[in-house]
Structure 1
Amino acid sequence: MPDSGSTATRQPRTGAPRKGRVVVVTGAARGVGEALVRKVSAKGARTVLLGREAETLHRVAASLPAPSLCVETDVTDQAALDRAARQALDHFGPADVVVANAGIAAGGAFSRTDADLWRRVIDVNLVGSANTARAFLPQLTRTRGYFLQIASTAAFGSAPMMSAYCASKAGVESFAQALRGEVEPDGVDVGIAYLHWTGTDMIAGLDEHPVLRALRRHQPAFARRVHSPAQVADWLTAGIGRRAHRVYAPPWLRWVQPLRPVFPAVVAHVARRELRTFSVGDLSADTGVLGAGGRADWRSFASGSPGAPEPRD
């Protein structure tokens, strides 16, 4: 890829998280984000951990083998992210890899989901990713670096009772595709990672969610498997090393891409059949925020938002 001529290349153009490279990960306190910083730190990369849970972030950072920096940051706050980017730059120099991983989910019927909570999922997952890119693109342009957007198979077909999450993941896929065309002339590559069932606390209540439970039950055995965050981090790290435009976790998802046009109809059919088995009262129940990380974010947000409901544990 030709250089734009506006900046100097600091090192050979590669996303490989080798020793000395600077890797920034949002949502690094737990789950896939935590597993990824552990993986790249073990390869010698210097890591910048961004997230909402300061104590958890520092505990993760303290256990990493390579130098790291923790910054408690809300990805929906552009000014805070800009400050975090400057702090990372001052501490380690410009970022080589930035992974927009921060995300939360909420389950429940759209009509019964608090409007602030619905909007919060969109803000963290979609707007937060755009904010992350805006804060770090100047550094990635300097290093001719790599931006990895974490998406989901939720972008393949939207499940009822998960409207905000599915909309946000379809949105981040579209955002990353558009961004890719804009920044390629500057030598920056943009990848999209599609994650399937991953064993984070976000899906700990999977069996309580009627539509997701039904969708998983109707998948073939190999597609029902829940993969550990460590395994997903292996796939992501390999994708970073290749500066891949698409990273599939698990890899067999690449063969599913041509079938995407039929997925919305299949998901709708399964959802309709499953939802008929539940009473109105069951479907009106609010599943609420999914996972400890999501609850921590919502609790922090709600504390500064009068009238917002408390998260359910």
Structure 2
Amino acid sequence: MAGRVVLITGASRGIGAAVARRLAAEGDTLALVGLEPDELAKVAADCGPEAGWWEVDVTDTAALGEAVAEIAERYGRIDVVVANAGIAAPGFSRSMDPAVWERVINVDLFGVWRTVHTTLPHLIDSKGYLLLVSSLAAVVHIPGLASYNVAKAGVEALGNSLRTELRHLGVKVGVAHLTFVDTDMVRGVDEHPVFGKVRTGVPLVSRVYPLELAVDKFARGIDRRSRVVHVPGWIGVMKVFRSLWPYVVEAGSRFSVPKADRAALADIEARGRAASSRASGAGGLADSEIAVAAARKVAG
């Protein structure tokens, strides 16, 4: 078995799938974790005969633990973990579906924590590398994505804490910060009748960068076991001045948010709160179906 054994969550689509394909092409062995089994199988087929896939919801601690145990048993080790699974659900906190708001936190923050907790014993054994996927949203908190902002800020804090906690054990920890990259999730946000206009109206985040840029940055960061990965590089400069950005966002949103707030209420009235608040993109739809099924099971 050549190269490293790399476990990636959220590997069905987008950045997770593209990074998996790149690393496989460079000789690594991929363990793919995510929803949408048909998509996972396609990505695994592209990653070579040694690649495997596991259909797992990262909010299910037991299922995730079982998958990690199977991966470790199958390959004998885990060298790299990319905690990438995430969703985004646009909406203002006062009016969007509270269950969806909380689901974003559960997937994007607690899902990362569960991934860390279940894989860490294997990374300690291999003195491996852990990359947590945060976002520019941890630094610049644009309106209409509060739950996403909160989750990604938490991921950054978790990564910074783990980096110090694990250094003496030989495990390196990186945190990736991305602006908007051309993925299904971002396209889904832009298709929202209200919040697509909110995002594209904010100069700092109006541009969508090509997926290949993120793949290059991630692959290089994993190779170097980097402490940070910035997509694009100017995010590193923005982090230095992070105390200023709330004032910039507040000033820039002074007139647009009241208008968007009224539009959001009208959209909820027209389409219903569930449709207006749903997580974005094909991956978001798959996650919504999982969440609804789980809620029905709990309800009996």
More off after superposition, 166-175 vs 252-261? 252-261
Q: Which residue of 2 aligns with 1:219?
A: 203
Whole-angstrom CA distance in 2 between matches of 1:282 and 1:53: 30
Q: Which residue of 1 aligns with 2:121?
A: 138
Amino acid at match of 2:92: A
Quick check: 1:108–1:284 contact (8 Å CA) kept in 2? no
Quick check: 1:99–1:150 contact (8 Å CA) kept in 2? yes
Return the offset for 1:131.
Answer: 0.3
SS in 1 for 2:295: coil
Q: Which residue of 2 aligns with 1:311?
A: none
Tell me if 1:71 matches 2:54: yes
Tell me if 1:115 matches 2:105: no
Q: Which residue of 1 aligns with 2:291?
A: 301
Quick check: 1:176–1:192 contact (8 Å CA) kept in 2? yes
Whole-angstrom CA distance in 1 between matches of 2:10 and 2:22: 15
Deviations 1:220-258 (A, max 9, x none): 7xx643222232111001011111111001122222221
Whole-angstrom CA distance in 1 between matches of 2:2 and 2:289: 37
- Choose the corresponding residue for 2:225, options 219, 222, 243: 243
Tell me if 1:256 matches 2:213: no
Amino acid at match of 1:274: S
Quick check: 1:214–1:271 contact (8 Å CA) kept in 2? no
The 3 A distance-change label for structure 1 pair 152 and 104 is same
SS in 1 for 2:32: strand
Amino acid at match of 2:258: R
Q: Which residue of 1 aligns with 2:63?
A: 80
More off after superposition, 283-292 vs 19-28? 283-292
SS in 2 for 1:60: helix
Return the offset for 1:279.
Answer: 6.4
The 3 A distance-change label for structure 1 pair 81 and 287 is closer
TM-score (norm 1): 0.86
Return the offset for 1:86.
Answer: 0.9
Deviations 1:8-64 (A, max 9, x none): xxxxxxxxxx94210000000000000010010000100000001111101111122
Q: RMSD of the TM alignment (CA)? A: 2.1
How high is the sequence identity, in percent, across the aligned residues?
35
More off after superposition, 132-141 vs 153-162? 153-162
Q: Which residue of 2 aligns with 1:270?
A: 252
Whole-angstrom CA distance in 2 between matches of 1:85 and 1:208: 35
Quick check: 2:100–2:277 contact (8 Å CA) kept in 1? no
Whole-angstrom CA distance in 2 between matches of 1:208 and 1:116: 19
Amino acid at match of 1:191: G
Quick check: 2:56–2:64 contact (8 Å CA) kept in 1? yes
Q: Which residue of 2 aligns with 1:233?
A: 215
TM-score (norm 2): 0.90
- Choose the corresponding residue for 1:149, options 125, 132, 138: 132
Deviations 1:109-158 (A, max 9, x none): 21222222111110000000000001110110011000000010001122
Gaps of 5+ in 2: 268-275
Quick check: 2:143–2:257 contact (8 Å CA) kept in 1? no
Tell me if 1:26 matches 2:21: no
Gaps of 5+ in 1: 1-17, 309-313
The 3 A distance-change label for structure 1 pair 87 and 224 is same
Tell me if 1:162 matches 2:145: yes
Quick check: 1:191–1:246 contact (8 Å CA) kept in 2? yes
Whole-angstrom CA distance in 1 between matches of 2:88 and 2:107: 9
The 3 A distance-change label for structure 1 pair 98 and 279 is closer
Quick check: 2:174–2:227 contact (8 Å CA) kept in 1? yes
Amino acid at match of 2:224: R
